[in-house]
């Protein structure tokens, strides 16, 4: 018997495809982590704007907590009853705040001067110089 045959006996055959996909995902995550760890964090943060730095920190924290969630699940611990669930929710809240800040930056800004000129010109105002004089003022006689 080969080693693969021995491994097949350790778990049900129905989950073999799931385990193979999981292993492939783990290898992919490991490669990404190695790439991230190869660059100095200080060097990376220098290149980013403050909002981008916050996004990087949040994504890193979320990824680590998600991996811990998966670790708990593999150890037979229910992660929904573990404090890691609250931590993930807290990080998600901050991610939403960062998204709101980004959306505010993208939103168009009001030019108050242009808006006031637009409103002023859109409203009708009588011009006393161009208005004909009233009939009453024309009938007033001058006294000598």
pTM, two decimals, is: 0.59
- CA–chain centroid gap for 85, Å, is 20
Domain positions in the chain are 13-47, 48-106
Q: What is the overall mean pLDDT for the chain?
A: 82
**Residue carrying the six token digits 């049900």:** 12
Q: Where are the alpha helices (DSSP H) in the chain?
A: 3-10, 16-38, 41-47, 50-74, 83-106, 112-122, 135-139
Q: Could you report the per-residue pLDDT of 24-63, keeping only the tens digit for each?
A: 988 998 888 888 788 888 888 888 899 999 998 999 899 9
Q: What does the alpha-carbon distance between residue 100 and residue 94 come to, in Å, rounded to a whole number?
A: 10
Q: What does the alpha-carbon distance between residue 121 and residue 118 come to, in Å, rounded to a whole number?
A: 5
pLDDT for the residue numbered 73: 93
């Amino acid at each position: 018997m080969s080693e693969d045959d021995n491994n097949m006996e350790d778990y049900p055959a129905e989950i073999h495809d799931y385990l193979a996909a999981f292993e492939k995902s783990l290898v992919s995550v490991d490669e990404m982590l190695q790439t991230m760890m190869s660059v100095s964090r200080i060097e990376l943060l220098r290149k980013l704007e403050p909002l981008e730095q916050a996004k990087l920190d949040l994504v890193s924290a979320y990824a680590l907590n998600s991996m811990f969630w998966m670790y708990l699940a593999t150890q037979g611990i229910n992660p929904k009853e573990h404090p890691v669930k609250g931590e993930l929710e807290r990080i998600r809240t901050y991610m939403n705040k960062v998204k709101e800040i980004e959306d505010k930056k993208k939103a168009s800004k009001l030019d108050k001067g242009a808006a006031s000129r637009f409103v002023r010109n859109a409203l009708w105002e009588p011009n006393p110089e161009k208005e004909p004089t009233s009939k009453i003022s024309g009938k007033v006689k001058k006294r000598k």
